[in-house]
Amino acid sequence: MASHCTSLIPSKSLPEQERVFARAFALLKQAVQERVFPGASLAVVHRGELAAWRGIGRFTYAPDSPPVTPTTVFDLASVTKAVATTAMAMILYERGLPSLDQAVVDTLPEFGLAEDGSPSPDPRRRHVTIRMLLAHSSGLADYAKFFLRAGTGSELVRLACSAPLAEPPMHRACYSDIGFIVLGELLARLAGEPLDRFCQREIFVPLGMHTARYCPPAEWKSEIPPTVDDREFRMRVIQGEVHDENASVMGGVSGHAGLFANALDVALFGHCMLSSGSPIVSPETVRLFATRQAEPAGTSRALGWDTPSAPSQSGRYFSPSSFGHLGYTGTSLWCDPERQCAVVLLTNRTWPDRSTQQIKRVRPFVHDAVLEALEEQPR
């Protein structure tokens, strides 16, 4: 499963990494000791080079658990929204398939239906656009346990498409898994093929992201850190399969979650975004999707991305032009075009359960330590 790519060249030896990023590595080691997460993988891109790539900790807190290495593959959770779904939307946008302001019902007529299949009594649904789904301003709620009611992926998509609006479209930005389940189905419909097939051919292969997979092969299972000891729904340890229950019912392929990759492959995607989208999209498209939306008032959302807002999980130093995304399992990608850097942090903070939220405290300090280290480097 090791990933090699000629487009990101390591700029520092391992001893140099240990010296330059000593503070960031120390923070991660301390977090492991404090049981914020059992293991982590960090990758740093700076000025087109791989400045750091390091694994810390173990798969679980057991002393004989496998160590996390730089090539360890993690469940990316909602980083899927950026690396797969948003990238797919960018490519299709360039090909002229969706207008961002096209109504969702034009592609997904079922979005205009109630759960029983009758026309929805809510006329606001016809005004929800693709742009609103990308920017989390559609009015859909953040989350629902569709997995408790849906036995198949198609049933779950139907429930998501008929989910009631929690508030008027464009009233405010509300981060929504439901919206990205709908968006993933819409993009698959426009492309005429499933997300995983499209993303593999159009994103992961061109960028050399060799470990990026929806539904990783069974033989990878023992090499992927477990994310949860699920005692509520699947009644087993979740390892090498998607953590998110809704995505699980969807067969592991969804617009909101399901992608696996190692830190280098996520860094390759970040490098692509910092390289103006080459070779998958144009600079104009990257700028369009990575720019914070003007409406609704107070939003920090771009199209498929988030942007820094105080206080931010990106820390104190990422510039206002930065964009990034977090994942529920303890993953993140942040890109800063001004500093020409991208920071990838992958963890399984949900092991053995999702009770701790301490990563929210640790992650900004790790980002700060990385950017402070980069600022101290000679130009």
Q: What is the pLDDT of residues 342-375, one digit of tens each?
A: 999 999 999 999 999 999 999 999 999 999 999 9
Which pLDDT belongs to residue 98?
81
Which pLDDT belongs to residue 305?
98
Domain co-membership, 222 together with 187 = no
Domain co-membership, 75 together with 106 = no
pLDDT at residue 242 greater than cutoff 90: yes
Q: Which amino acid is at 98?
A: P
pLDDT at residue 6 greater than cutoff 60: no
- Are 41 and 68 in contact by the 8 Å Cβ rule? The answer is yes
Domain co-membership, 259 together with 297 = yes
Domain co-membership, 247 together with 342 = yes
Domain co-membership, 132 together with 57 = no
Phi first, then psi: give them for residue 326, nearest 5 degrees: -110, 160
Final residue in a domain of this structure, among 163, 192, 221 = 192
User: Residue 378 — pLDDT band, cuts 50, 70, 90?
Assistant: confident
Which pLDDT belongs to residue 3?
38
Final residue in a domain of this structure, among 192, 223, 242 = 192
pLDDT at residue 1 greater than cutoff 60: no
How many angstroms separate the CA atoms of 201 and 32, rounded? 36
pLDDT at residue 181 greater than cutoff 50: yes
Task: Give the DSSP letter of residue 144.
Answer: -
- Are 318 and 371 in contact by the 8 Å Cβ rule? The answer is yes
Q: Could you tell me if residue 94 is inside a domain?
A: no
Domain tally for the chain?
2
User: Residue 243 — pLDDT band, cuts 50, 70, 90?
Assistant: very high
Query: Mean per-residue pLDDT for 61-80?
Result: 98
Domain co-membership, 323 together with 232 = yes
Tokens of 98: 């969706």
| Displacement of CA 25 from its chain's centroid (Å) | 23
Measured from the Cβ of residue 319, the count of other Cβ atoms closer than 10 Å reads: 14
Q: Could you tell me if residue 147 is inside a domain?
A: yes
Over residues 270-309, the pLDDT tens digits come to 999 999 999 999 999 999 999 999 999 999 999 999 999 9
Which pLDDT belongs to residue 10?
85
How many angstroms separate the CA atoms of 165 and 143, rounded? 12
Domain co-membership, 187 together with 208 = no
Residue 137: give the domain boundaries: 99-192
Q: Could you tell me if residue 362 is inside a domain?
A: yes
Tokens of 176: 């929504």
Over residues 93-135, the pLDDT tens digits come to 999 988 999 999 999 999 999 999 999 999 999 999 999 999 9
How many angstroms separate the CA atoms of 354 and 366, rounded? 21
Q: Could you tell me if residue 267 is inside a domain?
A: yes
Domain co-membership, 202 together with 185 = no
Q: What percent of the chain has pLDDT over 90?
A: 95
Q: What angle do CA 356, 359, 362 make, to 5 degrees?
A: 135
Domain co-membership, 54 together with 114 = no
Burial category of 86 from C-beta neighbours within 10 Å (exposed 0-12, middle 13-18, buried 19 and up): buried
Over residues 187-230, the pLDDT tens digits come to 999 999 999 999 999 999 999 999 999 999 999 999 999 999 99
User: Residue 2 — pLDDT band, cuts 50, 70, 90?
Assistant: very low
Domain co-membership, 228 together with 349 = yes
Mean pLDDT of the chain: 96
Query: Mean per-residue pLDDT for 169-181?
Result: 98
Q: Could you tell me if residue 246 is inside a domain?
A: yes
Q: Could you tell me if residue 89 is inside a domain?
A: no
Q: Could you tell me if residue 88 is inside a domain?
A: no
**Which CATH number does the domain housing residue 72 bear?**
3.40.710.10
Query: Mean per-residue pLDDT for 333-344?
Result: 98
Which pLDDT belongs to residue 377?
82
Q: What percent of the chain has pLDDT over 70?
A: 98
Domain co-membership, 208 together with 179 = no
Query: Mean per-residue pLDDT for 179-194?
Result: 98
Domain co-membership, 348 together with 229 = yes
- Are 350 and 44 in contact by the 8 Å Cβ rule? The answer is no
pLDDT at residue 340 greater than cutoff 70: yes
User: Residue 11 — pLDDT band, cuts 50, 70, 90?
Assistant: confident
Closest CA to 291 of 333, 330, 326, 323: 323
Final residue in a domain of this structure, among 192, 221, 245 = 192
pLDDT at residue 5 greater than cutoff 70: no
Q: Could you tell me if residue 261 is inside a domain?
A: yes
Q: Which residues pair with 237 in a beta bridge?
A: 229
